[in-house]
Structure 1
């Protein structure tokens, strides 16, 4: 298993290097490659959820009020749900430009309200920093590695992998 955790990021990083053309321009094909990389990353770290993981199904899709649980969700349907969720979150974070996909993947795991704030929850330091146009966000991004106040090494590895794969300098 440890070999798989090491090989997966290395393979995806190879895709990342191929996508860089050195000009700093962002073509539609490059954006699509980044999106595919994000989908693969989420699938790798989320794993497949079945009806016993209620309210999560597929690759981490949380059932919303009014949505019905399909007990025989196919991998294709789960893939479609994941892509729709990521695209919806990309729209939410599009004001952050090239960081929108990175924020979308993070919010898929921690929730949009943890980043953008709502009610009693204040806006995150990550969002505040990006609003100030300060893109030195590695420390803030990786800080989303705790569960019940304790650092979880697997979540920390996930954040570092996401950042390495999806951050556009």
Structure 2
């Protein structure tokens, strides 16, 4: 009898539940068209450090928020070292060193093809297009203490996270 009660309960559940279900779903149409969709773009601060040596080697380091991406190129070969998350302390320090350069107030500078040069690019939120971009060039032969301090710290971070010894 107990078995019969169980079978009856299951049969009734299925009989009553199935008509209420149907395949597929109904989606509520929103007011936004495809072109209005948020693509997830961010407009935070970003900094690029690109060291160009006369023999064609270059290092690229990008700092965005608390992440660091690095890459090394020699002639036609590129080694993408990937992105690493910096600690809060490292992130604060690198941005403090970047801010000490006062990139927006500096002269643009020139590319030193003989000694090599470093290109520094800072993107700041604001401006007509949602951000302002400032780019300067500094000779690798510079004695600017702020530039040297930043380069040394970036070297330390690359050694720590990527196990490489950059020669900016």
TM-score range, shorter chain: under 0.3
Larger Rg: 2
Whichever structure has more helix as a proportion of its residues is: 1
TM-score (ref. length: structure 1): 0.24
TM-score (ref. length: structure 2): 0.24
Whichever structure has more strand as a proportion of its residues is: 2
